[in-house]
A = this chain, B = another copy of it.
């Protein structure tokens, strides 16, 4: 189930020309704070405002003609929904997104703007799964899970593959972990394309299921959704967990205070308007004791409700 080097190379070829080769930015203030050279991979400037388009594009491109003709579906209130909508539109197939009724208006509007069909459901996971099952029963659509899917993991790996091309000789790469698609993809990208680079996961202390899962050797349940980093509230998926466990990946946790401070500094000084989930990786970079190292930081996304910033 773990993607191979060939899977990553195929993903790389598929995303080319569809996803944006996002820029890498630097910031002297953040370098001073970290005592290191930080290189920010700007996936908040990706189409759809997050790295998610990489995995969605690879998954949609993997479908046979017959499968594609029946469309794709998922349940998501977040960035994966927008990404799948864009990837499906690009292939000219239908995307159906099951979204809880309380999803932010800006995310609904974005998904509709990309041409997807939204089916509303209740707020619980059971509501979402039931509604998605109905959609699939009627349409025969292929379900594309946001992270527990080898095609998604291989697609997310392309962010780090690009970063290794853009910034040679990185000592460390830090990526946030929620469901684990991005982090496990980053681990595989380093393994195959930059074996000298150590990969570290960044997780809110209030959503530390991945760190605990690795410590205990067994997947832990989702924590109560209290962290400001709303993209990282999800529990780690089975495929990502297997990748992290077998590669002995370290996941570090940071406090809410450090997350908000890192987010604000990244906005104010680096002028990169990232979401809190990305700031978790910045916070680990600042506090990590990476003296004089060359540290890549994957800024996963920038979809923020501008009327509800966490320092207000």
Query: Of B44, B45, B49, B306, which is within 8 A of A309 by CB?
Result: B306
A223 surroundings in chain B (CB, below 8 A): none
Contacts of A23 in B (CB 8 A): 23
Residue contact B302 to A307, C-beta cutoff 8 Å? no
* A271–B309 CB distance below 8 A: no
Most chain B CB inside 10 Å of its own CB: which residue of A28, A47, A49, A271 = A271
Given A23-B23, A264-B306, the answer on whether A271 and B311 have CB atoms closer than 8 Å is no
Task: Flag A104-140 by CB within 8 Å of B: 1 or 0 each.
Answer: 0010000001000000000000000000000000000
List of B residues within 8 angstroms of A45 by Cβ: 25, 271
When distances are taken between beta carbons in the complex, the residues of chain B under 8 Å from A6 are none
> Cα distance A29–B309 when bound, in Å?
23
Q: Within A256-271, which residues are at the interface with B (CB < 8 Å)?
A: 264, 267-268, 271
User: Distance (Å) between the CB of A191 and the closest chain B CB?
Assistant: 30
Q: Give complex CA distance A49, B49 in Å.
A: 22
**A272 to B306 Cα, complex, angstroms:** 13
Q: Which residue of B lies closest to A25 (CB)?
A: B45
A273 contacts partner chain B, Cβ-Cβ < 8 Å = yes
A64 at the interface (CB under 8 A from B): no
Closest to A49 in B: B271
CB under 8 Å from chain B, chain A span 279-312: 302, 306-307, 309, 311-312
Is the pair B306, A311 in contact by a Cβ cutoff of 8 Å? yes
Q: How far is the CB of A85 from chain B (nearest CB, A)?
A: 14
Determine the chain B residues whose CB is within 8 A of the CB of A302 once the complex forms. Answer: 271
CB of B44 within 8 A of CB of A271, answer yes
Residues of B within 8 A of A113 (CB): 29
1/0 contact string of A226-266 vs chain B (CB within 8 Å):
00000000000000000000000000000000000000100
Q: Which of B25, B267, B307 contacts A311 (CB 8 A)?
A: B307
Q: A25-B45, A45-B25, A273-B273 are in contact. Are A268 and B312 (CB under 8 A)?
A: no
10 nearest A-B pairs in the assembled complex, by CB-CB distance: A271-B302, A273-B273, A44-B271, A45-B271, A271-B273, A267-B306, A23-B23, A267-B273, A307-B312, A268-B306
Which A residues have a C-beta under 8 Å from some C-beta of B? Answer: 23, 25, 28-29, 44-45, 47, 49, 106, 113, 264, 267-268, 271-273, 302, 306-307, 309, 311-312
Given A264-B306, A273-B273, output 12 extra A-B contacts at Cβ < 8 Å.
Answer: A23-B23, A29-B113, A44-B271, A49-B271, A106-B268, A268-B306, A271-B273, A272-B273, A306-B309, A307-B311, A307-B312, A312-B312
